[in-house]
Amino acid sequence: MDEQATLRRITQVAMELVRARHGALAVLGPYGIEQFIHAERDASVVAEKEGGESFTEDDERIVTILAAAASAAIENAQLVERTRSRERWQQLVTRMGSVVLSGGAAQDAAGVLAEGARDLLKASGASVVLQGHADLQRAGDGDGVTESVVPTVTLQTRDRIVGVLTLDRVATEPPVAEADLELAQPFLEQAAVTLVLAEAQREHERLAVFEDRDRIARDLHDLVIQRLFATGMLLERALRSMADSPAAARVSTAVDQLDLTVKEIRQTIFALHEPMDGSGGALRGRIMQEVSQANSVLGFSPTVRFTGTIDTSASTEISDQAVAAVRELLTNVGKHAKATHVEVAAAVVDHRLIVTVMDDGVGTHQGVRSSGLANLQARAVEMGGGFEITVGEHSTGTTARWYVPLTTPES
């Protein structure tokens, strides 16, 4: 039998024992009456005794005893509900742990927390904002006019604040009970520890990847480049003894290709030390990120070359525009050029940053430019630079060159 049925039965028993025609039981909470149970034997709305007699002191004692029984039933029901709530909070923390153990990030675990906290605290919505993360994880149906009732439930461990849990409610509903928040507090502390573990796990994975990339970079430098360099030296030595023989030209070409390969491998080594998400702010890393994302559009990996002090010479504004230029040019090649080879080059020459994208595709039709390319040209001119496109012989292959000065022109 549930709590309400028990309280209704107690009310009816009280009516029978004191021979009352009408009875009512009110359950009080921190914000007023939480439950109101009404019972009557006929249409009368007066809690009078059958036969018109007055209630006696014995009747009062009986009702008092039954009120105590009702109080005990309410306390027992509340105890059962608190036990169930603890179980549900523990299950929520366990779900968060499962997300982390399966490789999920702290944001994923925070999303589980937001959804669970919304349901367990009977709020219309919940949000979790993690320390050091701009995005938030939110759960809620968005129905009704909501207002924040608990703006700062802090998620913290013993030594650090992990984030903040915010709860919303429909304006016409009662606020979240303090008792429910007190019950949730130890589990929210466990949730904070789980979020810290998720961040630590992700950082450990990042470090492992960086260590692997460092090993690959060392192998490329110590083994591959050294062998290519030695091979190039042997070919140059052999070239000097060939004079003007027909094979000399082929060997010279091979030496040039080896030099180019060494440069590309060195650039790859540099890229291995860039942040994996291109978030480090360095222009080289950001361009490499754009090139990597263009692979799916092009169907192959472009060649990338850097010359000069790319990272230290370009301002944030210039870097942003250069990255936008690379993105637009690679997108344009992927959509129209039908190329099989693309080379991206960024160079600092004569106090200018020059971005060049070359392809071996079908070329571009004269007078036809997308709005994106027109915007690139307008922005370059605005910054004191320029943008030009040239087409190779027989309308095959295109070279797009975007450049801006590294010092702002005087107004």
- Per-residue pLDDT band for 205 (boundaries 50, 70, 90) equals confident
Residue 135 gets which letter from DSSP? -
Q: What is the pLDDT of residues 213-260, one digit of tens each?
A: 777 877 777 778 778 878 888 888 888 877 777 788 888 888 888 877
Q: What are phi and psi of 53, to 5 degrees?
A: -75, 165
* Distance (Å, whole) CA 166 – CA 123: 10
| Crossing angle of the two packed helices 106-120 and 178-219, in degrees rounded to 10 | 170
pLDDT value at position 367?
44
pTM of the model: 0.46
Cα 391 to the chain's mean position, in Å?
A: 42
> ∠186-189-195 over CA atoms, to 5°?
150
pLDDT value at position 276?
52
Torsion of CA 212, 215, 217, 223, to 10 degrees: -140
- Per-residue pLDDT band for 49 (boundaries 50, 70, 90) equals low
If you average pLDDT over each of 43-57, 61-75, 348-362, which comes out highest?
348-362
Of 91, 87, 109, nearest to 100 by C-alpha is: 109
Write down the CATH number for the domain with range 3-81: 3.30.450.40
Q: Thinking of the domain 97-199, which architecture would CATH place it in?
A: 2-Layer Sandwich (3.30)
pLDDT value at position 140?
63
* Distance (Å, whole) CA 409 – CA 342: 32
Phi-psi region of 36 (alpha: psi -120 to 50; beta: other; left: phi over 0): beta
Strand partners for 128? 137, 165
Q: Where in the chain is the domain with CATH 3.30.450.40?
A: 3-81, 97-199
Picking from 262-276, 284-298, 389-403, which range would have the lowest pLDDT averaged per residue? Answer: 262-276
Q: Where in the chain is the domain with CATH 3.30.565.10?
A: 280-411
CA distances from 242 to 2, 149, 223, 252, 297 (A): 101, 86, 29, 11, 45
Length of the chain measured in residues? 411
- CA dihedral sign, ordered 105, 110, 111, 115: positive
Identify which has the larger pLDDT, 40 or 196: 196
CATH H-level, domain 280-411: superfamily: Histidine kinase-like ATPase, C-terminal domain (3.30.565.10)
Of 51, 77, 49, 80, nearest to 63 by C-alpha is: 49
Phi-psi region of 382 (alpha: psi -120 to 50; beta: other; left: phi over 0): alpha
SS3 227: helix
- Per-residue pLDDT band for 387 (boundaries 50, 70, 90) equals very high
Structure tokens at 382: 């605005």
